[in-house]
């Protein structure tokens, strides 16, 4: 039987009462596990009497093991009777075990942390600023044409000295003995700089050989290579004309056709990126205008949970060293800020979606998944099975779609401004400086 025995803001204490048979089952399992692992002279594995096991292991330790088994059984019941029900959608963290009491029946209590209640200030006429992208379309078109010219470039064998922009084929061999096999590589000769291979290549010609040392950035280890220049090519870019357009794709008859096709692609990319920027910015403003009614214990538990996950994924030490220079307090403060912003955003999205009756259908989730996995060539039937079996994938897509719908609603009454990238960077620096001053003042 499951009941709520205590409730405080976003935290509930749930008690599960289970019959004595659950304790008996757990006890049998514990003694069976111990008797299989323990070796007692005169007894075959699994046949040692319980009173002898008690004297060796200790009754207190055995009771603790029984409680762990009972707690596992209770956790499964929590999942079935609470987490898998509609009310379970509000649970923000895994249930945390508080106590296990073994008497006539087993009574197990769990601490359940729910999404906290939020209060949102008015989002009407909220101002957001995004970088100007449409002004760069001509540059994007020219860049695309240049990329296509390079892609369709003609390589002409060259006997003379290597120059910047040439293409070379080289053969190289590791002289340290780690990998003595000779290998080949094609290189586009870039600007020579101290220590890079191009400073050795420029001025040489096919047939020349030289030794070259390179230092790995991540380890600092030095590798010495012997390099032989096999072939040298000058690179000729095709002229921008109608023939070039046909070379790119026979669906284009003229250069103007190609340009129009590229403009259409650029429009689609820019519009999509602009919509993404608007979504991000309006959701950032939503976070700023959202207040949480949350217990400190939830925040602390969430921080500990994130840290534990990072340690399990073996990313904690790397982030601590690279991003925070070993300052654990700064790292924890950063996680705390992320946790609070996450709860604000998720709580606000849930509230607005509920108030405005925004929902996502299974068909919408399937279509979004199909677009995401389009390049993977996954069949529709297999994709439907994936969504059915992988609840995390299903919920992740659903959450993203709901977020976009909420953002779209908020943008209806938002004031969108466009600024040059440099202006936005300056504004961001000013905001960061103000935040630092406020932080210093609060300390």
Pairs from 190-198 (Cβ < 8 Å, separation ≥ 24): 190/164, 191/164, 192/164, 197/227, 198/164
Distance, in Å, from the CA atom of 73 to the CA atom of 77, rounded to the nearest integer, reads 7
Q: What is the mean pLDDT of residues 338-356?
A: 95
How far, rounded to the nearest angstrom, does the alpha carbon of residue 133 sit from its chain's CA centroid?
26
The whole-angstrom separation of Cα 57 and Cα 35 is: 11
Q: Express each pLDDT in 12-28 by its tens digit.
A: 999 999 999 999 999 99
Structure tokens at 437: 């001053």
Report pLDDT for 223: 83
Residues 116-131: tens digit of each pLDDT: 999 999 999 999 999 8
Q: Where are the alpha helices (DSSP H) in 189-327?
A: 198-201, 242-248, 255-288, 296-312, 316-324
Q: What is the mean pLDDT of residues 333-341?
A: 96
Q: Yes or no: say if 153 and 236 are a contact pair by the CB < 8 Å rule.
A: yes
- The pLDDT score that the predictor gives to residue 368 is 93
Q: What is the DSSP letter of 238?
A: P
SS3 293: strand
Q: Which of 175, 163, 234, 243 is nearest to 210 (CA)?
A: 175
- For 209-232, how does the pLDDT look when each residue is reduced to its tens digit (9 = 90+)? 999 888 877 777 888 899 999 999
> What pLDDT is recorded for position 440?
42
pLDDT at 426: 53
Buried b (16+ CB within 10 A) or exposed e, 47-60: ebeeeebeeeeeee
Give the pLDDT score at 438: 41
Per-residue pLDDT of 363-377, as tens digits, reads 999 999 998 888 888
In this structure, are residues 49 and 31 in contact, taking their beta carbons and an 8 Å threshold? no
Residue located via tokens 């959450």: 399
Average pLDDT over the chain, rounded to an integer: 89
Q: Which among 334, 354, 356, 341 has a CA at the least distance from the CA of 286?
A: 341
pLDDT at 44: 65
423 falls in which pLDDT band (50, 70, 90)? low
Taking the C-alpha atoms of residue 164 and residue 153, their distance in angstroms, rounded to an integer, is: 15
């Amino acid at each position: 039987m499951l009941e709520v025995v205590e409730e405080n803001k976003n935290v509930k204490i749930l008690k599960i009462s289970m019959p004595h048979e659950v304790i008996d089952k757990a006890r049998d399992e514990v003694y069976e596990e111990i008797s299989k692992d323990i070796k007692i002279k005169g007894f075959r594995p699994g046949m040692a009497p319980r009173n002898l096991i008690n004297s060796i292991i200790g009754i207190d330790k055995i009771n603790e093991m029984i409680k762990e088994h009972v707690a596992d059984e209770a956790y499964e019941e929590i999942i079935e009777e609470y987490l898998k029900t509609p009310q379970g959608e509000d649970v923000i963290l895994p249930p945390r075990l508080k106590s296990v009491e073994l008497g006539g029946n087993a009574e197990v209590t769990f601490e359940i942390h729910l999404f906290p209640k939020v209060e949102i200030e008015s989002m009407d006429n909220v101002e957001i600023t995004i970088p100007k992208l449409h002004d760069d379309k001509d540059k994007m078109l020219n860049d695309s044409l240049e990329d296509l010219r390079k892609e369709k470039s003609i390589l002409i064998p060259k006997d003379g000295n290597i120059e910047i922009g040439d293409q070379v084929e080289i053969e190289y061999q590791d002289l340290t003995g780690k990998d003595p096999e000779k290998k080949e590589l094609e290189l586009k000769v870039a600007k020579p700089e101290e220590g890079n291979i191009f400073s050795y290549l420029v001025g040489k010609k096919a047939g020349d050989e030289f030794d070259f040392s390179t230092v790995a950035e991540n380890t600092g280890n030095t590798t010495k290579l012997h390099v032989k220049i096999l072939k040298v090519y000058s690179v000729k870019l095709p002229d921008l004309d109608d023939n070039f357009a046909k070379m790119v794709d026979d669906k284009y008859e003229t250069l103007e056709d190609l340009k129009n096709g590229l403009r259409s692609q650029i429009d689609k990319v820019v519009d999509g990126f602009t919509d993404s920027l608007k979504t991000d910015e309006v959701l950032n403003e939503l976070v700023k205008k959202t207040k949480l009614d949350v217990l400190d214990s939830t925040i602390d538990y969430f921080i500990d949970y994130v840290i534990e996950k990072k340690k399990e994924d073996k990313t904690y030490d790397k982030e601590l060293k690279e991003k925070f220079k070993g300052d654990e307090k700064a790292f924890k403060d950063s996680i705390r800020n992320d946790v609070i912003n996450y709860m604000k955003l998720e709580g606000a999205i849930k509230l607005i979606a509920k108030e405005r009756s925004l929902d996502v259908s299974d068909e919408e989730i399937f279509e979004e998944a199909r677009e995401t996995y389009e390049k993977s060539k996954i069949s529709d039937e297999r994709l439907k099975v994936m969504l059915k079996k992988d609840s995390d994938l299903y919920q992740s897509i659903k959450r993203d779609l709901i977020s976009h719908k909420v953002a779209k609603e908020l943008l209806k009454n938002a004031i969108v401004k466009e600024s040059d990238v440099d202006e936005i960077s300056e504004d961001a620096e000013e905001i960061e400086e103000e935040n630092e001053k406020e932080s210093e003042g609060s300390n």
